[in-house]
Structure 1
Amino acid sequence: MRAPKRPIHTVWTWARRQPSKVQAFLAVVSGMAALVLLRFIVHDHDNLFVAAEAVHSIGISVLIYKLMKEKTCAGLSLKTQELTAMFLAVRLYCSVVMEYDIHTLLDLATLVTTLWVIYMIRFNLKSSYMEDKDNFAIYYVVVPCALLALFIHPSTSHHLLNRISWAFCVYLEAVSVLPQLRVMQNTKIVEPFTAHYVFALGVARFLSCAHWVLQVLDTRGHLLVALGYGLWPSMVLISEIVQTFILADFCYYYIKSVFGGQLVLRLPSGVV
């Protein structure tokens, strides 16, 4: 006798057979449903931001395990790690001078591990680094983020430099994963540990975005006023949404690969 199919597998098989537009609609509905679920399950929505940083740390831990076990950094983007270290360092500075809390400790731990990954790629495992595939010019994102932060930043009572720095790390975080996506698009094949790491980033981005959206809903928009006036409040939300959607496509193929029982993720053209 054939074993009965699990409901989740049945739904997933049905969704895979739908046209791309229907799949996109289902993805949006699923995201909204997840937001509603989180709103009722997580009473203190600030915990979502802590969870996002924790998941990011788990993703970095997966990278460290890969580097230590396989002794290779093939498939990893050094530039994404450098951008990550950059926005973490700026955010850590802002956290220390503006609001010292649990986020400060989490950012410090993530920054230290990210710097260790950079050291391993640059020195210990340099021979396996795919420099020709890691060809995304980081000034394409650093310069626009800096200029955007210069003109659109919080209007709080903090020092101007701190407010610009805060905006810069928000904008840079939103696009820091682009070099890693470029590497994966260039290679078309993503080994498991790298895929787990990028998926962890996607989950972290979603939790962070959910934190902001639910906070705005709970305060009936008053949070946007607390962040300041002008374009800055809207840019915070846009940055959170952008970084979520940047990784949404990859997460779809990752989940598809997991349900298909594939150990190696193969990306079709046009994902990035």
Structure 2
Amino acid sequence: MNIFRISADLLHLASFFILIFKMKATKSCKGISFKTQLMYTLVFTCRYLDLFHVLGMMITFNFAHITGLTLYNTFMKILFLAASYYIVYLMRTELKSTSDDARDTFVLWHILAPCAVLALIFNAQFTILEILWTFSIYLEAVAVMPQLMLLIETGEADSLSSHYMFAVGGYRALYLVNWVYRYATEPYYSNWIAWIAGFVQTALFGDFFYYYFVKIMSGDAALKLPTTAGEV
């Protein structure tokens, strides 16, 4: 591992803590897209099915193939899964009355269907686990779209929500740097599916990054975007 990978993982983990803290502190999930959070939960569920294999080795005390990197990855995967499911749980139980369902209108099948088709066609190996992993890569690239559409619809995001989104976009941007570093330092390293999806995901955050830094420089409490209100 390198510093870019570790920094990306920590920023990703921070994004979960920021969002959970925001929802618990304000007792509200207003401005947060449930559909985006639901898709992130699906992303991690499909991607981390190998956890059963690793945990099985641990339960049976088969540590021959378990390295420090394996333990690190397993720990982070469990945290990501637990946090994503907890967020969905909060948004559909104690905070449901504060959700923005009326404006969170993005049609999920417009994302899910193309990602599923792409995973069936473009994958490294035609096995169930590999197809599900590839599906999760494609889906994560565009899972933020309902959140971005909700942000455009409302025209602004509070400080914690904007920090959360910056952490999500920033983690993937750091992964791009990590891939460049690995390509330059590791012979035969290649992962074009993740590269393309990661570039798309980072590009989707382009406008948000601009307005986020404008907010930081101006010292505004809320991030403001051009709104679609009033358009025909």
1:255 corresponding residue in structure 2: 213
Alignment equivalent of 1:136, drawn from 93, 106, 127: 106
Moved more, 89-98 or 178-187: 89-98
| 1:29-57, Cα deviation, whole Å (9 max, x unpaired) | xxxxxxxxxxxxxxx53x42333222111
- The code of the aligned residue for 2:145 comes to L
Kindly, what percent of the aligned residue pairs are identical?
A: 29
C-alpha RMSD of matched pairs (Å): 1.9
- Cα distance between partner residues in 2 of 1:87 and 1:101: 21
- Cα distance between partner residues in 1 of 2:47 and 2:181: 22
Alignment equivalent of 1:239, drawn from 162, 187, 197: 197
Alignment equivalent of 1:174, drawn from 113, 136, 141: 141
Could you tell me which runs of 5 or more consecutive residues in structure 2 were left unpaired when the two chains were aligned.
55-65
8 Å Cα contact 2:154/2:227 also seen in 1:
no
8 Å Cα contact 1:215/1:223 also seen in 2:
yes
2:115 corresponding residue in structure 1: 145
1:71 corresponding residue in structure 2: 27
Q: Say whether residues 1:223 and 2:189 are aligned partners.
A: yes
Query: Post-superposition shift, 1:74?
Result: 0.5
- Cα distance between partner residues in 2 of 1:120 and 1:152: 35
8 Å Cα contact 1:52/1:208 also seen in 2:
yes
2:226 corresponding residue in structure 1: 268
Bigger Rg over Cα: 1
2:63 corresponding residue in structure 1: none
Query: Post-superposition shift, 1:186?
Result: 0.6
**4+ runs deviating over 3 angstroms:** 94-101
Write out aligned runs for 1:63-212 (5 A): 63-94=19-50, 96-97=52-53, 100-155=70-125, 160-212=127-179
Instruction: Output the TM-score relative to the length of structure 2.
Output: 0.86
- The code of the aligned residue for 1:247 comes to F
Could you tell me which runs of 5 or more consecutive residues in structure 1 were left unpaired when the two chains were aligned.
1-43, 225-232
Query: Post-superposition shift, 1:269?
Result: 4.6
Query: Post-superposition shift, 1:101?
Result: 4.2
- Cα distance between partner residues in 2 of 1:269 and 1:245: 20
8 Å Cα contact 1:134/1:183 also seen in 2:
yes
| 1:201-234, Cα deviation, whole Å (9 max, x unpaired) | 11101111111122122236x112xxxxxxxx43
8 Å Cα contact 1:96/1:104 also seen in 2:
no
Paired residue secondary structure (1:186): helix
Q: Say whether residues 1:58 and 2:24 are aligned partners.
A: no
Number of aligned residue pairs: 214
Paired residue secondary structure (1:93): coil
8 Å Cα contact 1:192/1:265 also seen in 2:
yes
Higher RCO (C-alpha 8 Å, min separation 6): 2
| 1:213-261, Cα deviation, whole Å (9 max, x unpaired) | 22122236x112xxxxxxxx43321111111111122011101111101
Instruction: Output the TM-score relative to the length of structure 1.
Output: 0.74
